[in-house]
A and B are shown apart, each in its own frame.
Chain A
Amino acid sequence: MSNNPPYLEVRGLVKRFGGLVAVNDVGFDIRPGEILGLIGPNGSGKSTVMKLIMGIERPNAGSVKVKGVEMVGWPSHRIARAGVGLVFQHSRPLHRQTVLENIKLALLPDSLLRLAAESHVDGRAREIARSVGLGDVMQRHPSTLPFADLRRMEMAKAIARDPAVVLIDEPFAGLTAAEVGVFSELIRGFRAAGHAVLLVDHNVKSVAALVDRVFAMYLGQRVAEGTADEVMRNETVRRVYLGGSLTAVERRASAAKAKPPLLRVGDLSVLYGKAQALEKVSLEVREGEFVSVVGLNGAGKTTLFNAISGLVPYSGSIRFGEHDLRGMTAGAIARGGIAQCPETRELFGDMSVRENLDLGGQHLSAASRAKQLAWLFELFPILQSRQAQTARTLSGGEQQMLAIGRALMMQPKLLILDEPTLGLAPVILEQLSKALERLRQTTPITVLLGEQNVIFALPHADRVYLLEHARIVWEGDPPSFAAQMGEGYL
């Protein structure tokens, strides 16, 4: 296996989006019959690497060779014809067509003159459908299929294209344990057939059993490379995911225990199409309390927060103070005192820092807005000096502070922070951590924090919930989390 020349050679790949360096000098090889896991938390640049290989984005520098042929700068469809296939995580299948016709699509030539498919196409499509376990549903329409079957159909399309290099985006997202087994077999089938396979995923754990090697990324750069075990033991990787060792948890005296609950979530379930994003989640946040929900990417944290903010339909109940939030619009919920600071930050990129903040404080009177702004600048001094700057041009850390600042301008009763550490360098995390500490000391605000980075999440927290695969699997205080869960988390 290791003697064959590599099918895919990536060298010195660089991609910049404005001032942000999304991918910085990334390079690796994949040989035929080899599976490489490309691992990194959200915002690490791994998906960008995949898009650069497929030609969906163009790199600023670097080289991508497939079977020795340089393909950087080629349009996507040419790269695909030259032997690269991508299994999308979310796809929009052709809904008017049957499963079989969807697979046939992948077998068609890129021609304007070939009106009818060649005769072997039908037989080949049926063969592929059977091989991925879609044999019984070939004539059905995609909208009637369960989620796992839709993923199978995406795999079938990749198999039909028979690419030398197969890129698979989050192969197991949204699948049950049994389905993960089936998909692992399909992916091993690619390896057995001599394809070069790249699996892109959030964490090592989910692909460890499958990959030959792992390439771990953080902030656009390589942080570790080796076998799954080596990478999991790697200090840098542990720091990236956990934020460092789990010992430095300080205990705070909590006076909040006696306070009435401000937010009560009961038996909350959310379905995305056919994928179960949350399953019977219950939690409680008391007035003045700081509660952390920790969990790896994809566990369901963002979905939980979006349900609370009224952005996704759900079953179960969400109560905020005296109000039942069901049926309230997202706008009404926000005015009612819940401000969410989303993972994606959602800043108004073309507006200045000051304009973003003023928009957050739109409903305040001029006097109280000025007061709130002064308080905010004390909390985040950097924002004061950047007032006139366009939000888009801020660094990642400054953007995060602005996003939090804008949420605070709404004077919320409950502040929801969704993964504020996303894609931030350690030194910025410290600043952010200090700001949160000051926030807690100077205001009676209630905070619900969602984090993958446990070390960032624990010091501030009164209580911790652990979310795993759409369910709350653990609940307790930070010291017992460190004691009980520290090792098994990754």
Chain B
Amino acid sequence: MNRSILITLTASLMVVLLLVQVPCCAGSEPPIAISYDRDVRPILSESCFACHGFDAESRQADLRLDVADDGGKASRVIIPGDPKASELIARIESTADDDRMPPPDSGHPLTPHQIDVLRAWIQQGAAYEQHWAFIKPVMPSPPPINSVDHPIDRFIQAKLLANNLATSPPADRETLLRRLSLDLIGLPPTIAQIDDFLAASNINADTAYRQTVDRLLASPHYGERWGRWWLDQARYADSHGYSIDNPREIWLFRDWVVNAFNADLPFDEFTIRQLAGDLLPSSTTDDNVATGFHRNTQINQEGGIDPEQFRIDSVFDRVATTGTVWLGLSIGCAQCHDHKFDPISQKEYYRLFAFFNNQDEPTLDFYPAGIDGVLIKAELRAIEKHIERLFDECIKEINVWEQSRSKDHLASLGSSVREAISIPGDKRLASHKLALMQASSQLPENQLSEQEIQTYQQLRSLLAATVKTMVLKERKQPRTTTVFIKGDFTRPDDEVTAGTPSVLHAMERSKGALNRLDLALWIMHPDNPLTARVIVNRVWQQYFGLGIVETENDFGLQGVSPTHPELHDWLAIQWIERRWSFKELHRLIVTSHAYQQSSFESAELRKIDPLNRLLSRQNRIRLDAEIVRDVALTSSGMLATKIGGPPVYPPIPDGVMSQGQVKREWTSSLGTDRYRRGLYTFTYRNTPAPSLNVFDAPEGQSSCTRRMRSNTPLQALTLMNDQAFFEFAQGLEKIIDRDGIVLAFRRCTGREPDATELAILARFDSLGAARVLLNLDETITRE
């Protein structure tokens, strides 16, 4: 590469090159080595593969550019070492609209710099490489850096040093404690915790910090915080979705996830139970509850629909979600045609589809501990049979009794009798029949004792209190799976059997037909190059705002390369070696200096690295929607800390529930359920609670692997005026009256106010000051 190329680099590109440790701008220019994977593939993928890539169907001019050897044609357009003779260069440089590639109307024109990169690549021999994410990671050794111990910091600082940058100083202790607390348990520290931490830090800062990490990881709120992270990916919500959006009961799955995080269930087991808990050799009720992961698909209850169409749609969703969540691949793209960018054929898509095509979708009755549901049902059935037999014996008398009732007398009857009368004879249940016999005094003496009746009512209320949850259950008779032409379920094509994409590691053959358990084991197989990388990246993203791979849901050819590939691989392998323990992964990351450094920016740094991809500082991150609520609840002393249980209904503005197709009631919870963490708020997919929705909480329409962080006037209106937030302000008002403004400030921000801040707050009465505190950017931000 020559000087002219360097001169054309734009500012942002400088950063890209900095990131890849290219020595640039030096006096004597060593040639820059172009890497296919890092430099060339992203260009070709963005601008060329749609017509000259993996998908044979849409391939133009019989030309492939995604492989070195396409059977001849590519070798004519790319002459290694000779860009001038390469038709590819001639065509991308052409000034004639009908000759230039990509075509002007493609919307993907090449920049002069991209053309330079392609030319330099051909000049250097046009070598192709296998895409990094499809190669199994190999443990790199952290580069040696003077007086830096933590391996993460050695990777980070080596790159910073190469770019003449340094890390920032550690964040101050109060900021650090609040950061750690919000990141690990999603709640701010209490005043006592802050004071303790400051005192302990004065003795030994490192010990104090490590002990705090231990304390927070052992907190039951840890599972709530990180469980929510997983529930985003599981597209969890409490309603069926589509147009009718009826409520559903699947919160036991939510609790299962929270508990799994608290128990630090290793990720391989965590995965296997969710994908195939029903197929485990000694499957427990809990394992079945876990299969709720893939029951978080939507169910269409609209009239006139074809149920098979929507069953197939939910299978499409399961394939796409599995691909996104565990493999970081947009497998769903191959539903209608071969993938345009990644080497996944349409047939391979339907082989994955086959794993998810053999389930029934039942609802599981979940009984409280110590209760045998099967026994109860049997007992109940026996009494019901008895009642029905007795009823049949006196049916004539009952009919006569029923018909001879006057209107007034009917109105005077108990509600259970009136209900029984309102139901046509052939639809009456045993409970109705019993009520009728009792009311008409037709219940034969000595046939059904008072005690039997009592037992009957008790059993019924026990069963009524049974919690239900939606699960997957493998069918005995498998369905036939075919390719669907263009993804249209009315157009079946070739039959396929279950299998996995050939670009990834091979599947170990088991006896008999493959099922979801085989798929889960395949995903968690040590040879899988993707899953560990994908998940550690998404954990990293929670701590720094962006992942090491920015495209956290696309590790395919269209994805962005990792900024720190060695660190990324090191983390993935470390995590596996630590038995897939999330808690160990968190400990590893939060004990690094990279995590603990200050998030303050300088204008100078911002110019060099505007997105902070090199991590010369931490990032300020606006809190997740639920945690915005949780922080206000905690600061105002109102938080109800109960963990788990059915979803709750905190106050929402009037009229929200009339925005869906079906108008619904939302009766605000009273008592402590009004003040539960945001995680427990009932989520209707179509009409989610506005205070969560405006802060970008996902609605469970599809898997969400990274939340957006918008910053809008509606958020301001929510914090200022929403009834719930006003109640929090009233709570904080009482605290100000009791403990003073300084303490209230600390409850919200974790730090002491300075004189300027106190002077501004002094303009207000307690309620006014409380409202200011709850509206501060700092209060809803993790610094």
Are A and B genuine complex partners?
A: no
